[in-house]
Amino acid sequence: MYIYFQSVFKPDFKFNKYHLLYFIPSVLFFINSAPFIFMDPVAKDQFIDQFMADPDVAFRLPTLVYPYFAHVLFRMTQSFIYLLLSFRLFFISFKANQFRIQNVHGYHYGYYCFCFLFGFGFYSMTIYVGIHLNPENQYLFSDPFEMNNLIASPRILNALFITTALFHPKLVFEKYFTDKSKYSIPTVRKPNLPVELENQKYDLAEIEKLFNEFIENKPFLEMGFSLNAMSDGTKLPVHQISYYIKHHYDLSFNEWKNEQRIKHAIQLIDEGLAQQLTLESISMQCGYRSRANFVEAFKKVMGMPPSEYLLHHKKN
């Protein structure tokens, strides 16, 4: 689950061999519970019948190394820690998106809120069960009904967790539901314009009006913002936008886009937000998918990396 959330909330995430280390505790837990997992089906049924008659049988559930209550407690504590780490990734991404419920990719943070709500409930209740499976707390199990209620609570939360993913499949398969047509270059390209059309006289005043109205809300800060997206937003042909940017700014579209994004980054730094945000967060707020792309663009526009600019900014 933690690896899944890394892939969702870290734009530059790539799975590598070191991520396999996360699975070691699970393997150890599986080995410890092997005696019960591979118990003969008849013997397992008998064990369950004994448990229903006498809840104290739970203390004697067969394990390989350490007792069952410790197995439950350690396993769920580990899962709870990974859930906290996942929530940290979620919060950083949510904060970088200025706490808007939906980001530019259409990812809906509300789905993840449900996930964490039921996840925290499930693991915290199961940790509680693990603590009270300790033989020192046998007084809790004087009645099988009481024991069943204790175990049923996290199971209900787990069922709600699964149901959330079932009825909100975007939680797991977000990228397959996202309408990327608004943020990426369409596969159908406009044909190249004849040279004479490139040299025609444009109504620059009208283009400037539509251009400025469109960029007022800073759409260039969206990840995947393209010339075609700007054409759709302004209702101007691509070649007219390119001509205007070249005529007005003496820049290509990508150069202009990067310059606007870096200006926004400078504004965040000058307002003191750099002390609260990481470079990754600033780069995401400026529309970059990775810190490396942000640093490269920053150096081209400002002539220095953002770390050096931050150093000068602190001295001043």
Please say which residue of 178, 205, 231 terminates a domain: 178
Please say which residue of 178, 206, 228 terminates a domain: 178
Three-state secondary-structure class, residue 108: strand
**183 in a domain, yes or no?**
no
Do 8 and 143 have their domain in common? yes
Do 200 and 161 have their domain in common? no
Do 162 and 42 have their domain in common? yes
**pLDDT tens, N- to C-terminus, the chain (316 residues):** 788 778 777 756 778 888 888 889 889 988 998 988 888 889 888 888 887 777 667 667 888 888 877 887 888 888 889 888 888 888 887 777 667 776 555 556 777 777 787 778 777 877 777 676 666 665 545 555 666 666 666 667 667 766 765 665 555 555 444 444 433 333 334 444 444 444 455 678 888 889 999 998 899 998 888 888 898 888 888 888 988 898 888 889 999 999 999 998 888 888 776 666 677 788 888 888 888 888 889 888 888 888 888 777 666 5
**268 in a domain, yes or no?**
yes
**62 in a domain, yes or no?**
yes
**211 in a domain, yes or no?**
yes
Question: In CATH, what number is assigned to the domain containing residue 296?
Answer: 1.10.10.60
Do 126 and 26 have their domain in common? yes
Alpha-helical segments (H) within the chain: 2-9, 24-32, 34-37, 41-53, 68-96, 109-132, 144-167, 170-177, 195-198, 204-215, 227-234, 238-249, 253-270, 279-285, 291-302, 306-315
Strand partners, 108: 102
**67 in a domain, yes or no?**
yes
Do 55 and 144 have their domain in common? yes
Do 246 and 134 have their domain in common? no
Tally of domains in the chain: 2
Let me know: does 2 contact 22? Beta carbons within 8 Å: yes
| CB neighbour list of residue 40: distance below 8 Å, 6 or more residues apart | none
**217 in a domain, yes or no?**
yes
Do 75 and 117 have their domain in common? yes
Q: How high is the pLDDT of residue 132?
A: 67
**188 in a domain, yes or no?**
no
Q: What is the pLDDT of residues 33-55, one digit of tens each?
A: 898 888 888 988 888 888 777 76
Of 313, 314, 316, 296, the C-alpha closest to 304 is 296
Do 34 and 84 have their domain in common? yes
Residue 304: domain span: 195-315
Please say which residue of 127, 145, 178 terminates a domain: 178
Do 87 and 208 have their domain in common? no
Do 136 and 216 have their domain in common? no
The 3 state secondary structure assigned to 116-156 is: HHHHHHHHHHHHHHHHHCCHHHHHHHCCHHHHHHHHHHHHH
Do 128 and 229 have their domain in common? no
Placement of tokens 């809300």 in the chain? 217
Q: What are phi and psi of 194, to 5 degrees?
A: -60, 155
Of 187, 237, 172, the C-alpha closest to 211 is 237
Do 38 and 87 have their domain in common? yes
Of 277, 279, 315, the C-alpha closest to 297 is 279
